[in-house]
A and B are shown apart, each in its own frame.
Chain A
Amino acid sequence: EIVMTQSPATLSVSPGERATLSCRASQSVSSNLAWYQQKPGQAPRLLIYGASTRATGIPARFSGSGSGAEFTLTISSLQSEDFALYYCQQYINWPPITFGQGTRLEIK
């Protein structure tokens, strides 16, 4: 099973600044990587799939990069609604699919 490791566990950033979240896979997943945003009481929201393709309706300030085993989610200018929990997920040759443990993005 491929293990996904996200860092940092918590990231404190001021509104308007850039946030960079990292995700590492225990082996190559090529570009089969998705990012989700989750807020309390809500379902996960797909942000990025294919490592860098924004899902429908996702603002351009969200961008994904990377391939192989190292990935990054960048939020270029943080808005108040962006403070949430973020998960990465691999799906190469699924099943299984596995998620990272999450990064909590909080207001500095």
Chain B
Amino acid sequence: QVQLVQSGAELKKPGASVKVSCKASGYTFTNFHLHWVRQAPGQGLEWMGGINPGGGSTTYSQKFQGRIAMTRDTSTSTAYMELSSLSSEDTAVYYCGKVSEASIWYSLIDSWGQGTLVAVSS
């Protein structure tokens, strides 16, 4: 069965960077795009960007352009999301998610990782 296992919780200081990993199993990693979505405490879901694990191409929400980078390692079926210049407003649970249809950008998430809490505090 599809599994997405994310790295553990992080505590960061303002101005620092964080890198969250998402290890996939149970399907062909390179066939399905992966998106990253975050959820601030008590808030809704916010899309951050996505990656095509096959070719490595990415698309980012304009809100995060310039301080976000998504990468992948096909040898370990792992995707990464790095966010820099953190502020308290970046405190949130970060989720990775695999889309439901192979090889197309305009598909949405059908399987989610368990989430990674990133707390930003001085």
Note whether A and B form a binding pair: no
Interface, chain B (partner A; CB < 8 A): none
Binding site for B on A (CB under 8 A): none
